[in-house]
Amino acid sequence: MKIISVVGARPNFMKIAPFINAIRKHNVNTGNEAIEHLLVHTGQHYDERMSKVFFESLGIPEADIHLGIGSGSHAEQVGNTMIAFEKVLREERPDWVVVVGDVNATLACAVTAKKEHIRVCHIEAGLRSGDMDMPEEINRLVTDRLSDLLLTPDRLSNENLRKEGVPEEKIRFVGNIMIDTLEANRQKAAALDVGTIIRDNLLESRTELPDKVESFSILTMHRPSNVDRKEVLEPIIDFLLDEVCAREVLIWPIHPRTRKQLERFGLWDRVTAEPNLILLHPVNYYEMLKLNMEANTMLTDSGGLQEECCVLGTPCMTLRWNTERPITLREHGGASILVGNAVDKIRRAYKELSQSTRKPQRPELWDGQTAQRCLDALLEAQG
């Protein structure tokens, strides 16, 4: 069997790492029936800190093929990826293309493979936010509609797919593959030192640091719905500076898109002037895991961090009005509250969660063994 797996953007890397390991193990154990595997990186994320450091820290082999797509409008990213990936598929003719998550690379490569009559397997299928303003929701819907094998992280996702009429035999509940990566790296992350993480990743623009950082919360924010409009972003920044940083240190590993927007809206100087706000470059996987393990609370609009907070028990404010990952919410036993981007709601949740303690949860099959189940499902589907 020949498989091409695709990665493009940061959240893909922690999902593909365990899958590649499962293939390696399979090949060591089976000899003759070895799987031929090629890794394609579309290049949607290209900064060293958004891409290369994850390959290095997670032991992902260098991509066999790099499409070098880079940034651009969604149509440019998807279109350019399709043109380049079609050439790869015509040359390589794999039996399966495996895509993960919901980024533009996921969509582009699923569509291209289907048009080349190559079977598509989607890892992390069935998540739905119901919010068609989110580019990721469009990516999820189209990818799942085209996929031949849909591997889901939870039973709610199976239900979503059933409601859309996906035939039962295409769906397999395998658990959350990202938690494989969390479990494999937990100990290594725990051994890190927060002070060292801060020093190693500090943005040059900051001059002074609090003497000791023992108690802190974390912020990550990059969704267009939060950072692309000044009238939304500015009140959030006001709240963070005036109310969160008045109480505690806030560590913010900042996404390149968010930094650009803060500069564009004239907010960058205010943000860099706040002594209790520690601005970092994007951090690597272990560093983020360690910060998450130690944080008082997490404020985030990331999908993956909601899930990691659930397993680590970190009280989490999800800066979105909806989530495709409802299993991470407190009403489903998780650690997160949806707070959108309205400051009064964020303030209320922040007050409540600042008092609460860690409650680690383990949804069904988030057990660190999902990658093997993904590969087993693929082998079974191949027949």
Which residue in 26, 41, 222, 281 is the catalytic one? 222
Q: Is 261 in the site for ligand UD1 (CB under 6 A)?
A: no
Least CB distance to ligand UD1 at residue 36 (A): 28
Least CB distance to ligand UD1 at residue 263 (A): 11
Angle, CA of 104, 291 and 42, to the nearest 5°: 20
What Rg value do the Cα atoms of the chain yield, rounded?
20
User: Interface with ligand UD1 by CB under 6 A: which range of 115-123, 200-208, 255-263, 360-368?
Assistant: 255-263
Residue closer to ligand UD1 by CB (options 10, 373) is 10
Select the residue interacting with ligand UD1 from 45, 122, 128, 172 (CB under 6 A): 45
User: Interface with ligand UD1 by CB under 6 A: which range of 31-39, 40-48, 262-270, 341-349?
Assistant: 40-48
Least CB distance to ligand UD1 at residue 136 (A): 5
Select the residue interacting with ligand UD1 from 257, 270, 347, 359 (CB under 6 A): 257
328 neighbors 306 (Cβ within 8 angstroms):
yes
Select the residue interacting with ligand UD1 from 7, 11, 118, 172 (CB under 6 A): 11
Q: SS3 string of the chain?
A: CEEEEEECCHHHHHHHHHHHHHHHHHHHHHHHHCCEEEEEECCCCCCHHHHHHHHHHHCCCCCCEECCCCCCCHHHHHHHHHHHHHHHHHHHCCCEEEEECCCHHHHHHHHHHHHCCCEEEEECCCCCCCCCCCHHHHHHHHHHHHCCEEEECCHHHHHHHHHCCCCHHHEEECCCHHHHHHHHHHHHHHCCCHHHHHHHHECCCCCCCCCCCCCEEEEECCCHHHHCCHHHHHHHHHHHHHHHHHHCEEEEECCHHHHHHHHHCCCHHHHHHCCCEEEECCCCHHHHHHHHHHCCCEEECCHHHHHHHHHHCCCEEECCCCCCCHHHEHHHCCCEEECCCCHHHHHHHHHHHHHCCCCCCCCCCCCCCHHHHHHHHHHHHHC
Give the count of residues interacting with ligand UD1 (CB under 6 A): 18
Q: Is 66 in the site for ligand UD1 (CB under 6 A)?
A: no
In whole angstroms, give the CA distance from residue 86 to residue 207: 48
Q: Which of residues 156-175 bind ligand UD1 (CB under 6 A)?
A: none
Q: Which residues pair with 317 in a beta bridge?
A: 299, 337
Residue closer to ligand UD1 by CB (options 35, 110) is 110
Residue closer to ligand UD1 by CB (options 256, 313) is 256
Select the residue interacting with ligand UD1 from 34, 68, 71, 83 (CB under 6 A): 71
Q: Is 339 in the site for ligand UD1 (CB under 6 A)?
A: no
Q: Is 313 in the site for ligand UD1 (CB under 6 A)?
A: no
Active site residue 281: no
Least CB distance to ligand UD1 at residue 357 (A): 28
Select the residue interacting with ligand UD1 from 1, 38, 50, 379 (CB under 6 A): 50
Q: Is 100 in the site for ligand UD1 (CB under 6 A)?
A: no
Q: Is 46 in the site for ligand UD1 (CB under 6 A)?
A: yes
Residue closer to ligand UD1 by CB (options 39, 108) is 108
Q: Is 128 in the site for ligand UD1 (CB under 6 A)?
A: no
Residues in contact with ligand UD1, shown as a per-residue x/- string from 137 to 156 under the rule CB under 6 A: --------------------
Binding residues (CB under 6 A) for ligand UD1: these are: 9-11, 44-47, 50, 71, 103-104, 135-136, 222, 255-257, 260
Catalytic site positions = 222
